[in-house]
Structure 1
């Protein structure tokens, strides 16, 4: 069985949207002189994170977290654990979590609860892809690159079994049963 990749969002369109997101984020925090703590959720958000923080023209600190779901390999798990925690303290600071995709919201809900216990001044989410129609939790994305309702997508950090992250654009992945 092979995979078919259908172009969905071009690299150029992503870069243009990131420019706009960068300006929106700067405007949102314009009355605060303190550094913004930008947190990258690994692995999927690393390309988006790298491009986005270069468009956010303001002082910042950066850090990384990695979440892991555990449970049956054949079903989506709502059980989430940290496999890499923050190193930067966030108490009393404005925090922006940067994620590749927020779908059902379970992982992000877990992360937000953990971060809120650390008493940040504010806590917002920026996601490259917001699948808000699939949300099963109350998680709200504050800055969304693109709103999608369906389709399995890869590229620009998003993967399927650790493949396709390196693609410049975003592609819809489908199974090509004929191969």
Structure 2
């Protein structure tokens, strides 16, 4: 585990234990583009648009994304776990916190931080479709195609990333470093 000094230096992408993969500015520009595309694609859905944040990793992303969408919408949250405190998925998916409102007849956009193996999001998309929404689409900030075990269709994709354990901008290591303003990876990993 990192020392307190290493943790403090992590916020400097040029001096911390992490290398910057995507800068805060690059992320902001792409999120704005994604928001515009979602606005165009869902302009006719009125107040039936629901952004569904997959907790906890997508919270920062969805906060920025929803402000880039020029439509009325509602937010929902669902907790899904397959990693625990590890850096690799266990493959066992469980819902840790369910929706608070029905999505029947709604146009739902699932907002993920990263699509890795595809196993978790495949399970989630199947589960949501049983709840009879008008539509379900998938928006992910990141995709690691080299790790795909179960292909899924991503309707809105921010970036494709290499097979490295990434963190920051909502992504964590043992629940830490979500608040890094950039997306980075461990130097030397």
The two structures have a TM-score, normalised by structure 2, of 0.85
Map 1:15-164 → 2, pairs under 5 A: 15-69=28-82, 76-164=89-177
Deviation of the 1:175 alpha carbon: 5.2
User: TM-score, length-normalised on structure 1?
Assistant: 0.90
RMSD of Structure 2 on Structure 1 (CA): 2.0
Alignment partners' CA distance in 2, 1:23 and 1:84? 30
Q: Unpaired runs of 5+ in structure 2?
A: 7-16
SS in 2 for 1:59: coil
For 2:48 and 2:119, locate their aligned partners in 1 and report how far apart those are by CA, in whole Å.
28
Q: Is the 8 A contact 2:87 2:173 kept in 1?
A: no
Q: Please say if residues 87 and 165 of structure 2, whose CA atoms lie closer than 8 Å, have aligned partners that are also in contact.
A: no
Higher helix share: 2
Match of 2:19 in 1: 6
The whole-number CA distance in structure 2 between the counterparts of 1:76 and 1:11 is 26
Number of corresponding residues: 175
CA contact (8 A) 1:21 1:143 kept: yes
Structure 2 partner of 1:173: 186
- Larger RCO: 1 or 2 (CA < 8 Å, sep 6+): 1
Q: Secondary structure at the match of 2:38?
A: helix
CA distance 1:58–1:75, shift in 2 (3 Å): closer
Give, in whole Å, the separation in 2 of the partners of 1:173 and 1:76: 18
Counterpart contact for 1:134–1:149, Cα < 8 Å: no
- 5+ unaligned residues in a row in structure 1: which ranges? none
Show structure 1 runs of 4+ deviating over 3 A.
73-76
1:116, distance to aligned residue in structure 2 (A): 0.5
Change (3 A) 1:166 1:70: closer
